[in-house]
Amino acid sequence: MKRVKTYISAAILLSAVFLLAGCGADTGDATEKLQIEPITDADENAVQADTRTENKTEETDDKAAADEDSVAEENEAGTDKTEETDITEQPETPADGTAVYEDVLAQYRDMVQHDFYREFLDSDDYESHFGEAIGVEIRTHRQGVFYAFYDIDGNGTAELVIAGEEDDVGVSNPAFAPWNYDLYGFDGNKVVSLFPDMEFGYRTNFSLHGDGVIEVFYSGSAAETGIDFYRIGDDGFTPEIIDSFAAVAHLEGEETVFTYSQNGSEITEEVYKSALKSYQTPLTEELKWEQIY
Q: How many CB atoms lie within 10 A of CB 137?
A: 18
Report yes or no: 226 and 217 within 8 Å, Cβ to Cβ: yes
pTM (global) more than 0.75: no
In order, the DSSP letters of 234-290 are TTSS-EEEEEEEEEEEEEETTEEEEEEEETTEEE-HHHHHHHHHHH-PPPSS----E
Report yes or no: 268 and 253 within 8 Å, Cβ to Cβ: no
- Candidates 133, 193, 128, 125; CA nearest to 159 is 193
pLDDT digits (tens, 9 = 90+) for 178-207: 999 999 999 999 999 999 999 998 899 999
Q: 204 has which bridge partners?
A: 218
pLDDT digits (tens, 9 = 90+) for 215-265: 999 998 889 999 999 999 999 999 999 999 999 999 999 999 999 999 999
pLDDT of residue 282: 96
Q: What is the mean pLDDT of each run of 10 residues along the chain (293 residues)?
A: 42 39 42 44 48 49 52 48 38 64 98 97 96 94 95 95 89 90 95 95 94 96 94 96 97 94 98 98 95 95
| Rounded distance between C-alpha atoms, residue 158 and residue 178, angstroms | 19
